[in-house]
Amino acid sequence: MNATRLIAIRHGETAWNVDTRIQGHLDIPLNDTGRWQAQQLARALADEPVAAIYASDLQRAHATAQAVADATGAPLVPEPGLRERSFGALEGRTFAQIETELPEMALRWRKRDPHFAPEGGESLTALRARIQATVHRLAAHHAGGQVVLVAHGGVLDVLYRLATGQELQAPRTWQLTNAAINRLLWTPEGLTLVGWADTQHLDTATRDETTA
């Protein structure tokens, strides 16, 4: 079977990203910076051959993906399997609040306990299984082509770990930048890393009245 090229994107910035507030499955919109990032991303990918764009059905990811769809002309398909990890009872809290109000949970989270699931939420093990199955299904459907996946920080973290063989508990040493371009290769044997955290389209763009 031919390989499938994947362009994996974390959604543009939200106000809760700035506040370090846990979003999870809560449906938070892009802020002004996030909308600008989505437009810069769309320009960067405008000439890419894209068979389809799959996006988490949460609006911060869908709005980012819509900008890419408008630029490339590729069909945009909502994909709940690409949602962020569900953080259950932790959603809506800042990192600082979790440390203060729920210290035991904070410790297990900080240690990246793969089996820890916040009340009503999802463990890292469950998240990895969900993302691995979703990406395999989508990529296999487009063997030999290229697809864009627009998702969330937790999803991108899992993709990097799957592509590099990093364990769930390994400390993160890679970036999960909003609207960065990340490239992977999929075959039935798994994922391979091609390029990660390309932000040239954001670093070189001038944000003024014409590009805001």
Place of tokens 């959603």: 91
Helix extents (H) in the chain: 15-18, 32-45, 59-72, 95-101, 103-110, 124-140, 153-164, 200-203
Q: Residue 52: its pLDDT value, please?
A: 98
Rounded Cα distance between 90 and 66, Å, is 29
Q: Is the pLDDT of residue 113 over 80?
A: yes
- Residues with a known catalytic role: 11, 84
* Stated length of the chain: 212
Neighbours of 41 (CB within 10 A): 28
Known binding-site positions: 10-17, 60
Contacts of 73 (CB under 8 A, 6+ apart): none
pLDDT digits (tens, 9 = 90+) for 32-87: 999 999 999 999 999 999 999 999 999 999 999 999 999 999 999 999 999 999 99
Question: Which amino acid makes up residue 68?
Answer: V
Bind-site residues for substrate? 10-17, 60
pLDDT confidence of residue 212? 39
Would you identify the CATH topology of the domain 4-203?
A: Rossmann fold (3.40.50)
Tell me the C-alpha distance between 135 and 89, whole Å. 27
Question: Could you give phi then psi for residue 4, rounded to 5 degrees?
Answer: -115, 130
Task: Check residue 209 and give its pLDDT.
Answer: 43
Domain-wise residue ranges, the chain: 4-203
